[in-house]
Amino acid sequence: MSPNLHIVILVFAGTMLVNVFTSAALWYIHRNRIFGYITLSWVITSINFFLQSQFVNYDYKMLLAYSFYVLASWVYYEITAALLVNPERRYWVYTIPITLIVLGLVTLNLTGSFQFASIFSAIAIAMPLFCAALKARNAKVSRESKGDSKGFRILALLLVLLAIHYLDYPFLRSSESGAVFGFTFAFLLTFAFSIFFPSFLLWQLAAQYSSRLQDEVTKQTKELVDLDNRNKALISILIHDLATPVTTAMMSLGKMEGGEQTPVLDRLGKSLRYIVSTIEKVRELQAVNAGKKNLDLKVADPMISAENAVQYYAEQLAAQNLTVRFIDNRKNRHSAVMIDSHLLQGQIIGNLLSNAIKFSPRGEEIVIRLSEDARSLTIEVIDFGIGIPASIAPKLFSFTGATTRKGLHNEKGTGFGLPLVKAYVDMMHGRIDFQTGYKDAAFARTVGVNMRVKFPLVVMQPILSESRPAAEM
């Protein structure tokens, strides 16, 4: 064996070893059958290479060693079929090569010409490779491969070159110079496959995972949309069916106010008011989620909305002997923001004030404080009650989190109030946050809850035309 051929064989052997271990590692990591096929093809190539290096006589052993590579050709055919839509297996791709190899052995026995006999084996090995190349070039690419036709064209080209390499075997193997050229060509093809196959198959695998994930997301989204639509329909039916009898009951109860009030009637009135409040909040929630809540944004003084909200809750405040103190720390008492005054009064400050009433001890005070900086105006509703438990604080503004709890005087809540407040604040391009259970130097005492709502400051001049309407919620 010449030194040149010896060097080529050593490099070829090293490349085969690296390919076997690399493909085996990829198969072990991903457990994908295609990587298993690749590992098998490199093992077959290594065995074929070893067998050819051991035989020096051009006889049956050499011909069988060469023909052994048809197994690798079949593996490449299976790899290509596995990557395509409708991978039809043509069984003649297996039967014809076997027949040709047998004919080659018979030809060698009859003629004694290794070169002539090996032509049959060369065709047998090349046939599955040409078929695989044709599939890669013409067949419809799997949807999971994201239409990566360029990668399949490269695969087809490499398979054609590999098939041509095995067709030149009968003419190059018989001479040492031809063998050097053949092994060099084989090494270059092996090197190309070593680089292309792992990256190409990993890309295909990533595309498959992405496609399956997208399908699953689409499926889950459709199920969630269907469930949401069913829930909306159910809620609409319930609200409609509840609203009429509850309204009738409230009217009947109102007619009985002139008579003697009993504990039973008092409890009935509270229960009906709670049901009405729940229905109204669910209606508001539906309107917000459906995008049907239209805002009437105007430049307005939020202090007017705050005063009207306090006026609306005057009866509840008086019942608990609570007082409300206003602190206006604005540099310009007429600082204004772009808001929907009705929603600010009824849904935002109203809800925050209602919570402050529920969780404040009798005889306490509630503070509404306004302040400003260069860019925003802040409205704070501060109470000195029991504060917010740490267990519900993170989900306080969530529609799905369980945050409902009874007030200090056994008032019931729906859990929708603060999420609705945040939804409306967001719609007005504001922000809301809170602090609970902290020492405030301005009051020299511990604050229960401080709810802070911030809106962009849009005007710094007196609003002469703004009148203070009566409290309506």
My answer on whether 322 and 184 are in the same domain is no
Could you tell me if residue 94 is inside a domain? yes
Q: Which residues contact 416 (CB under 8 A, 6 or more apart)?
A: 278, 281, 282, 284, 285, 399
- The predicted structure's pLDDT at residue 171: 72
- The predicted structure's pLDDT at residue 311: 92
Could you tell me if residue 242 is inside a domain? no
Could you tell me if residue 43 is inside a domain? yes
**Residue (of 354, 309, 305) closest to 455 by Cα position:** 305
**How far are the Cα atoms of 76, 156, 204, 349 from residue 79, in angstroms, in the given order?**
5, 12, 12, 67
- The predicted structure's pLDDT at residue 195: 72
Could you tell me if residue 241 is inside a domain? no
Distance CA 48, CA 64 (A): 9
Could you tell me if residue 239 is inside a domain? no
Which residue carries 């003697």 as its tokens?
260
pTM, two decimal places:
0.48
Which of 202, 220, 238 is a domain's end point?
A: 220
Which of 205, 220, 235 is a domain's end point?
A: 220
Long-range contacts at 312-318 (CB < 8 A, ≥ 24 apart): 312/345, 312/346, 312/350, 312/471, 312/472, 312/473, 313/350, 313/353, 313/354, 313/357, 316/354, 316/357, 317/357, 317/366
Ordered per-residue pLDDT tens for the chain, 473 residues: 455 555 556 666 666 777 778 778 877 777 777 778 888 887 887 777 777 666 667 788 888 888 888 888 888 888 887 776 556 667 888 899 999 999 999 998 888 888 888 899 899 989 998 988 888 877 555 444 444 567 778 888 888 888 888 887 777 655 656 666 666 676 677 777 777 777 777 777 777 677 778 888 888 888 888 777 776 666 666 666 666 666 667 666 666 655 555 666 666 776 676 677 667 766 766 676 666 667 788 888 899 999 999 998 898 899 999 999 999 998 877 778 899 888 899 889 999 999 999 999 999 999 999 999 888 999 999 999 999 998 888 888 887 766 777 777 777 666 778 888 998 899 899 999 999 999 988 899 999 999 999 999 875 555 444 444 444 44
For 298, phi then psi, to 5°, come to -145, 160
- The predicted structure's pLDDT at residue 25: 81
3-class SS at 401? coil
Rg of the chain, C-alpha, whole Å: 41
Which of 175, 203, 220 is a domain's end point?
A: 220
**Residue (of 153, 192, 212) closest to 32 by Cα position:** 212
Extract the tokens encoding 218: 């689409």
Please provide the distance, in angstroms rounded to a whole number, between the alpha carbons at the two ends of the chain.
101
CATH number of the domain that residue 27 is part of: 1.20.1070
Distance CA 216, CA 219 (A): 5
Which residue range(s) make up the domain with 375?
Answer: 298-459
Could you tell me if residue 274 is inside a domain? no
